[in-house]
Structure 1
């Protein structure tokens, strides 16, 4: 019951005060992939709620049997790290779909001193893209890239190498031809007689 009270308190506080201004992070993902929504917190974090609008995506602490505050579309698709690492309030969202696009808010409730708490909201804008041509996206360096660009890049590189080799061979053949044309034939003379 304590967890439910904290969630209701956080949701109502967020609605009463209004959403925080400005998105701090922007994340991109492809349909079906997993995406990490970052949120840093202190080691004194007592409660955490992730929301999109008024829908609860995940919360901490969470009783394994009581997931009722979580929106049905997010059940069994989220993972929090706060129970493992007290300074990591990030949310891992699995099997994203186009409807998961939107601004997510991370509400962190922290004990500042005994009886005084601080609420720090953070926003992450998630954009979900469909895969082009049925290919799966590749994530490198925090950016999502379509693997079809790799498949297209290799043949283009091969064509460029073949064209460069052909150009070098043509230039070499032209140089040899020019050298042959520059050879002057001097008629041979026989002693005393011209040929």
Structure 2
């Protein structure tokens, strides 16, 4: 029991002594959804710790110490590590993120108590946008007014159709013909004679 506390204390002291110029990624997630915080590590990694502000343990795994620290209460049932089941994957899966999770998460990976790596992930959590009727609401920044090009196209189409109809009516007026129907006395069939007026 004393050995595991000593090992944990040493891990924390090493983490505090690490230079604060670690790599930082920025990620965005929607509130209520799950988010995967990536943390690449080698297959030789035997310890991974995810923390917030050097004090809150989000999740932790160590092959060296069997008495692993439990995560903070707020992350107890909302986080999952892929270690030890997937060697080389020190990522953290957070379930049902909320605006309270908008923090900088730090991933510490250790290889045989010698090599330590640190990765900061700045997580931004946004509220999902709700729309009354997505099929009729315009996208952000657009209005419901028709586009000017659309209006020009409709007016041009109306002008062309009006011109064609006018030309057909004028042609019909010029070629007006008179029909005269005669009966063929021998066959008993009507005969149509067309003559211009």
Which stretches in structure 2 are left out of the alignment for 5+ residues?
178-196
1:105-138 CA distance string (max 9 Å, x none): 1100013xxxx62001111111011122389xxx
TM-score (norm. length: structure 2):
0.66
Question: How far does residue 182 in structure 1 lie from its aligned partner after superposition?
Answer: 5.7
1:44-64 CA distance string (max 9 Å, x none)? 001000011121100113889
Match of 1:46 in 2: 46
Residue in 2 that maps onto 1:29: 29
- Show CA shifts across 1:115-168 (max 9, x none): x62001111111011122389xxxxxxxxxxxx8677469x9xx98xx79x938
Q: How many angstroms apart in 2 are the aligned matches of 1:67 and 1:151?
A: 52
Stretches of structure 1 lacking an aligned partner (at least 5 in a row):
136-147, 189-194
**Counterpart in the other structure of 1:95:** 96
2:83 matches 1:82:
yes
Q: Is the 8 A contact 2:4 2:67 kept in 1?
A: no
SS, match of residue 45 in structure 1: coil
What whole-Å deviation, never above 9, does each CA across 1:1-32 have from its counterpart, x for those lacking one? 45554443232222223433441x22111121
Q: Deviations over 1:54-104 (max 9, x none)?
A: 211001138898544x22211111101112211100000111111111111
Is 1:109 aligned to residue 106 of structure 2? no
Measured at CA, do residues 28 and 12 of structure 1 come closer, stay the same or move farther in structure 2, by a change above 3 Å?
same
Q: State the structure with more CA Rg.
A: 2
Match of 1:120 among 94, 117, 121: 117
Question: Structure 1 length normalisation: TM-score?
Answer: 0.67
Output the CA distance in 2 between the equivalents of 1:122 and 1:134.
37
- Equivalent pairs, count: 166
Partner Cα separation in structure 1 for residue 4 and residue 131 of structure 2: 42
User: Aligned equivalents of 2:72 and 2:36: distance in 1?
Assistant: 19
